[in-house]
Structure 1
């Protein structure tokens, strides 16, 4: 599964603060999900800011991911869970769960990944999607 997780507060951005782009640090070990070559054409850029209330749960008919996606927890005192799978039925042997409780927690994933989410405690999530042509 093309997936990386972490916390942007812990990321070594060489003092720049950029979390997606063409800087060398975006080439994380085993993944280029956050790396966008400076001359790469992009399409379908989407940015979503959503304040999820307690108990908010994703639809069950979500499509498989296309392109690249990065979701980050923005708020403190939150609890947001994301499930990722390479199968649409989220079989436990093929599912990875990320619990985001610290501002800056993130997940980045590529095409062909199924995801679903649930908000246990009010959470504001910033999501960015794009395609590299």
Structure 2
């Protein structure tokens, strides 16, 4: 193993935190995956999975990237569908959203605190 390199499995490590495996919620604090700079999620969703409640993190931007499947994201003013591998959506803090897996899907999501102007 090269020095200063951490390996693991995103799906296994995020299993207890709804897929989130990097972020400030990781303990112990000296674990390299414990950071307040960003959060990373490996989301595995069966066809028909959905989050019906709206979420609008007030202080983080979010980037969701489709690895496989077909994944719908609903926003107050419209809906987008991630349909091709690599399709992504990025939204700013405070933007409400919900989602639905239109097919079995894998989605990587990253949240971070954008720079303040």
Please indicate the TM-score interval, normalised by the length of the shorter structure. 0.5 to 0.7
Q: What secondary structure, in the 3-state scheme, does the structure 2 residue paired with 1:132 have?
A: coil
Seen in structure 2, the aligned counterparts of structure 1 residues 132 and 100 have a Cα distance that, compared at 3 Å, is closer
Q: Which residue of 2 aligns with 1:111?
A: 93
Tell me, yes or no, if the aligned pair for 1:67 and 1:132 is still in contact at 8 Å: yes
- Aligned-pair RMSD on alpha carbons? 1.8
Greater relative CO (CA pairs within 8 A, separation 6+):
1
Which residue of structure 2 lines up, in the alignment, with residue 72 of structure 1?
Answer: 65
User: How many residue pairs get matched?
Assistant: 80
Q: Partner residue of 1:99?
A: 81
TM-score w.r.t. length of structure 2? 0.62
1:55 counterpart = 2:48: yes
Shift of 1:110: 0.4
Deviation (angstroms), 1:64: 1.4
> Structure 1 residue runs of 4+, over 2 Å off?
none
Give 5+ residue unaligned stretches, structure 2: 1-34
Shift of 1:63: 3.3
